[in-house]
Every structure is written in C-alpha cells, then in structure tokens.
Amino acid sequence: MSTNPFTEEHELLRQSITKFCEKEIIPYVEEWEKNEHCEKSIFKKMGEKGFLGVSFPEKYGGGGMDFWGAVVVIQALANSNIAGLSMSLYAHTYLPLPLIASLGTPEQKEKYLIPALKGDKIAGLGVTEPGAGSDVAGIKTTAVDKGDHYEINGSKMFITNGNIADFIVIAVKTGEGLNMSMIIVDTDTEGFSTIKINNKLGMHSSDTAQLFFENCKVPKSNLIGQEGHGFYYQMNNFQEERLLAAITGTFVAEWSLEKAKKYCMEREAFGRPIGKFQVVRHKLAKMAITVETCRSISFRAVAEFIEHGNKAETIITMAKAYTGEESIKVINDALQLHGGVGYTEDFGIARAWRDARLLSIGGGTTEIMHEILGKVVLDEVEHTDKLSEESVKA
C-alpha cells in the first residue's frame, strides 16, 4: 500500500468537508453538547453536500468514491472534536444503509436508501438489547409471520438516533437458534416507542435511546434479504462499524497529540516551555509512536477492506482492538500534559477523553475482539500442525 493512499479527488473532498465543518459544525459544538443533541438539520446539510454517502454508489445518490473518501470525512469530523455528532452520522450512514445498499430491493432503496443519503430521512440500526450486546445470537426481539406482515415484539438498548430516526433496521428472531432476520421499521409504526437514555459519560451530542416494540405490524416488503439470514448479514455488517471505530480512534488520538504539542510549547514552567523538559518530550514521543502505529494498522485495514470486503475481518478486528485501547491512552496522556486546564471543559481535551472511552466498548468490546482473534490464532496453529503431519506422512 502507498504511504499516501489519498488521490487528488480525496484532497478536494478534504478541502470541502473541512470548510463545511468550520462553518456548520465547529461553531455549534458547545451548544449541541450542552443540549445533549445535535440539530436534525445537520443531516440534511451533510446530505446536500454529498458528505453522507461519499463511498456509496452514485446511482443511489452517493459519491461513488472508495472507502478512503469516508476516511477523509471521518478525519474532518474528528478534528471538529464532536464525537457525539460523528457517531450519530456514522450510525445513520454506515450501520444500516450498507445492508439496504447490498441486500435491499429496488423499492427499499428508493424509499429508504436514497432519501437517507440525501439527509431527508434519518436512519438507525437496532441490534443491542438489554440482555444482548456483542452476543448477537442472544437477542429476544421477535418477528412473527402473520401472513401479509410481521408482528414485532421486544426492545432494543443503546440505539444511536433512536429518538430522531425516521426508520430503523432491526435484528429480530424469526425462528429458533440463529434464525434471525433484518427488518426495516418506520418509527411512525403503531406500537413503536422510545425512551431517551441520559447521563452518559460522553457522546453528549448524540441521541441515544431504548426502543420498544409492542405488536408492531411491519409489511413483509420491509424484510432485508432472506428471512433467517440476518445473523450472518449482521456479522458481516460489523466489519464496517469496527473499521470506522478504528479510524475514528486514530484521528482523535492524532488531534489530541497535536493539541498537547501546541500546549507544551506555549505553557511555561520554571522559566521555559514545559515541552523543553525531557520527561515531557519523551511522553510526546511515545504518544507519537502510538498514533503512528494506530494509523498504520487502521490504514492497512482500510486497504484490505477495499480489496477484500468483509473477508478482511481479521485485520479489521485487530485494528479495532488495538486502537480502541491505545488511542484512549494517547488522549489520556494529552489531558495529563494539559494539567489543570485539561480537567476543565475549556480546552476540549476533557470532552475528547470522555467521548473516546466508548471506543473500546461500542461495536464490540475489546474482550470480544480478543476472543475472535484468539480463535483465529489457534486455528492457524491447528492448520500448521495438520500441514506438518501431512508433510511427514508424504
């Protein structure tokens, strides 16, 4: 992979999204954080500029770019230091919409995908439940076949955009075991309701909700793909979500490092900038190494994803596991270098620290990532041993 994967087209996008963030997002960060939600109009503004679907096909209203285009947008949002809004935008674009784009019917794409990429409709994804998070197979929300419609009962937990979405793609049980399906539910459906989740540590500007389904009648035409295949659809869909988390962690850590470097050269103690002290220089050096390592593994994961799609699961899982933990350490060190002012909301580093804590939890905890990778590592050992045995016999 080239050390610089960005083309001239990507750079033009970078200029455009950076100017947009400076005008339409950064001036409102404090207001949205205080109000604990972003304005729904920002989705429309992003859609009008084409920023929501830069990596979606042009025939659906997307930009037709590769995933590096999405990386450019992620970096601009990270530099705006409003991870709550960023999460709402990602939960709208990159969690439910790829399912509709790849598996949806022409009618579903016309009714849901195209308006969502324009920002005319807001979307969400509902998988997590009060008793089932990373364990997707443990969900209990059911969709019972009633002939011309499904009747849905159950609940979902910690759903981003749950209160503001126009439709939500949800995972439901349609049979025993792993017999699950993905179904689009319009939020004006009778029997659907939400409760806002408050008192979050971070991500204050994102909307988070608990969803309730009480005898919700949903048309059969809202089924995505084949009935009973939802578990496998969502397992594949997780890869894009985890890749987004890895890239986000990388860029927030990079932003925090730059903030710390600048502050350390401005703040003086004992007659000189604190950045002139060896202990500070060494801390900054270690932070820089970690950021570069996060970038390397994340960018490799993007390259593998572009070439192999969801088959790049192993490197994506590694990137999610590594950056989810290490980026938090960089941000924590950046706060430490800011001293007392870092502990206030005035410099923004405290918000970055609070928001980043979700990186090792959302989209699958670090522990789940390690469990997935542990199985991969052991499978490789067993495969090597088997080949060795066959070689000896030959």
| Separation CA 261–CA 124 (nearest Å) | 37
Written as one string, the DSSP assignment of 264-306 is HHH-EETTEEGGGSHHHHHHHHHHHHHHHHHHHHHHHHHHHHH
- DSSP H helices, the chain, are 8-24, 29-35, 41-49, 67-78, 83-93, 97-103, 106-108, 114-118, 230-266, 278-308, 313-338, 349-356, 366-393
Phi, psi angle pair for 165, to nearest 5°: -70, 150
- What single-letter amino acid sits at 178? L
- What single-letter amino acid sits at 381? V
Asked whether the beta carbons of 136 and 171 are under 8 A apart, the reply is: yes
Closest-CA residue to 151 (of 179, 201, 103, 192) = 192
| Separation CA 251–CA 259 (nearest Å) | 12
User: Structure tokens of 53?
Assistant: 């679907």
Can 241 be counted among the known catalytic residues? yes
* Active-site option among 240, 241, 254, 313: 241
Asked whether the beta carbons of 52 and 89 are under 8 A apart, the reply is: yes
Cite the active site residues: 241
